[in-house]
């Protein structure tokens, strides 16, 4: 199972964290791997290939058109840039230093999250400026209405487990207000299952990750109104040049999109539910640990196991237990971005055959190890800031 890791001298791991970029996004199917490999030995007209991708994206999302980008983050920047420049190569070349008069992007303050980088930076890379709406926990209709002016290029709506999930303007209402002001709505839906709902609900552009739930190679997908997709695609003549996507990622994304239409979503959900119940049974007898199956916060059709840890009763914190799992062989990489609240989660959507049972066995062993571990002052720090720490540590002590 880990022959490649062993050959390269890399640490073995089992991903129960989710479709995380830091872990390579997702595992691609044989069909996607074959499509990616097949085009690697060929030359192709990239515009024709992107037109083929547009047809596949439109077929699956219900949009007028689409294109493939280097990532969902790149898709956000290019979509914003397209709303500013339209189909004007001169304006494309002027970005980011000369964004023009219509250069503001309206975003609810509670949606200005980090996803590995700040949402605000993805906006600013296009040369646009962010105009926050409301407070972090409360945005009201009149605040959005007053923020939409002649300087507004677009309104960005972020769907993510990282955003504030209460007090925000609902998507449908957000669209209504923006439409009345003739402002295009861009939806960042990178990690969402629903590939049709945002376009059907009035979004002008919707952005998805090609390498998360879709299970393709690293890529982003822009879907939406034809003229705005064309304007986003035109950015490849400017700021998009450094975000260009290769032929292999486009071919793999097309294969992943077509495969998604044939996916037995019900059967996969049943497998995932069985894994959650197995893990819950492994943890239920442990004093101080309460496993609870919880729904996805953005409404994706999936569930996770939330492992609530009573530090006093168990003898170790959630952060220490997560550390114990991460130090096993193979490492069990958990979803720990809210560990300061006393829990972490286990996500079953990226399991290979046999790994659910391996995780259950590791949980049983880890609870014994963690209860005896000396708590480290850095456990919580590492869990909360691990992304930054990993970047700072990279090659720091290399010979």
Q: What pLDDT sits at residue 26?
A: 85
Q: Where are the domains of the chain?
A: 3-18+265-389, 44-262
Name the pLDDT band for 377 (thresholds 50, 70, 90).
Answer: low
The pLDDT tens digits of the residues spanning 309-336 come to 999 999 888 998 998 899 999 999 999 8
pLDDT exceeds 80 at position 396: yes
Q: What pLDDT sits at residue 71?
A: 96
Share above pLDDT 90 across residues of the chain, in percent, rounded to a whole number: 76
The radius of gyration of the chain from alpha carbons, rounded to an integer in Å, stands at 22
Q: Round to whole Å and give the CA distance between 275 and 153.
A: 45
* Average pLDDT, rounded, for the chain: 93
The pLDDT tens digits of the residues spanning 64-78 come to 999 999 999 999 999
CA 216, 219, 225: angle at the middle one, nearest 5?
A: 110
pLDDT exceeds 70 at position 395: yes
Cα-based torsion angle of the residue sequence 162, 166, 168, 170 in order, rounded to the nearest 10 degrees: 100
Q: What pLDDT sits at residue 386?
A: 67
Domains 3-18+265-389 and 44-262 alike in fold: no
Contact (Cβ atoms closer than 8 angstroms) between residue 79 and residue 186: yes
Query: Which of the four CATH numbers 3.40.640.10, 3.30.365.10, 3.40.50.9100, 3.90.76.10 does domain 44-262 have?
Result: 3.40.640.10
* Cross-strand partners of 345: 306, 335
CATH level 3 topology of 3-18+265-389: 3.90.1150
pLDDT exceeds 90 at position 185: yes
- Per-range mean pLDDT, top range of 24-28, 42-46, 192-196, 294-298: 42-46
Q: What pLDDT sits at residue 373?
A: 67
* Cross-strand partners of 105: 130, 154
Name the pLDDT band for 25 (thresholds 50, 70, 90).
Answer: confident
Q: How far is CA 239 from CA 45, 89, 96, 218, 243, in A?
A: 21, 12, 7, 19, 8
Q: What pLDDT sits at residue 355?
A: 95
Segment 194-207 mean pLDDT: 96
* Predicted TM-score of the model (pTM): 0.93
CA 2, 276, 304: angle at the middle one, nearest 5?
A: 95
Q: What pLDDT sits at residue 181?
A: 98
Q: What pLDDT sits at residue 125?
A: 97
pLDDT exceeds 90 at position 353: yes
pLDDT exceeds 80 at position 49: yes
Contact (Cβ atoms closer than 8 angstroms) between residue 82 and residue 127: no
User: 147 or 26: whose pLDDT is higher?
Assistant: 147
The pLDDT tens digits of the residues spanning 161-176 come to 889 999 999 999 999 9
pLDDT exceeds 70 at position 378: no
Name the pLDDT band for 375 (thresholds 50, 70, 90).
Answer: low
């Amino acid at each position: 199972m880990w022959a490649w890791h062993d050959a390269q001298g890399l640490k073995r791991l089992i991903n129960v964290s989710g479709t995380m970029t830091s872990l390579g996004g997702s595992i691609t199917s044989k069909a996607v791997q074959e499509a990616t490999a097949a085009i690697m030995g060929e030359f192709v007209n990239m515009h024709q290939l992107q037109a083929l991708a547009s047809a596949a994206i439109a077929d699956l999302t219900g949009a007028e058109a689409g294109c493939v980008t280097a990532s969902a983050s790149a898709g956000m920047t290019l979509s914003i840039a397209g709303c500013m420049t339209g189909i004007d190569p001169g304006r494309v070349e002027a970005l980011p230093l000369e964004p023009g008069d219509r250069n503001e992007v309206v975003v609810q303050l509670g949606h200005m999250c980090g996803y590995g980088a700040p949402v605000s930076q993805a906006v600013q890379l296009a040369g646009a400026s962010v105009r926050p709406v409301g407070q972090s926990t409360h945005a009201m209709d009149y605040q959005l209405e007053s923020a939409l002016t002649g300087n507004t290029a677009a309104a960005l709506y972020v769907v993510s487990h990282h955003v504030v999930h209460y007090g925000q303007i609902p998507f449908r209402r957000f669209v209504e207000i923006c439409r009345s002001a003739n402002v295009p709505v861009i939806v960042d839906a990178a990690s969402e299952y629903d590939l049709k709902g945002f376009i059907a609900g009035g979004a002008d552009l919707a952005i998805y990750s090609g390498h998360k739930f879709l299970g393709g190679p690293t890529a982003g997908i822009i879907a939406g109104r034809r003229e705005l997709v064309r304007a986003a695609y035109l950015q490849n003549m400017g700021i998009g040049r450094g975000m260009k996507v290769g032929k292999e990622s486009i071919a793999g994304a097309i294969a992943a999109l077509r495969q998604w239409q044939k996916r037995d979503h019900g059967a996969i959900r049943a497998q995932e539910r069985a894994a959650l119940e197995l893990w819950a049974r492994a943890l239920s007898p442990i004093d101080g640990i309460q496993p609870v199956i919880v729904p996805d916060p953005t409404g994706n059709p999936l569930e996770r196991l939330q492992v609530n840890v009573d530090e006093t009763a168990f003898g170790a914190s959630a952060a220490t237990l997560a550390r114990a799992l991460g130090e096993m062989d193979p490492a069990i990489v958990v979803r720990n971005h809210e560990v300061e609240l006393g829990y972490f989660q286990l996500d079953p959507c990226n399991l290979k055959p046999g790994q659910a049972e391996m995780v259950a066995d590791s949980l049983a062993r880890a609870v014994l190890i963690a209860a005896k571990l000396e708590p480290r002052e850095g456990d919580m720090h590492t869990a909360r800031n691990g992304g930054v720490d990993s970047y700072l540590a990279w090659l720091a002590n290399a010979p």
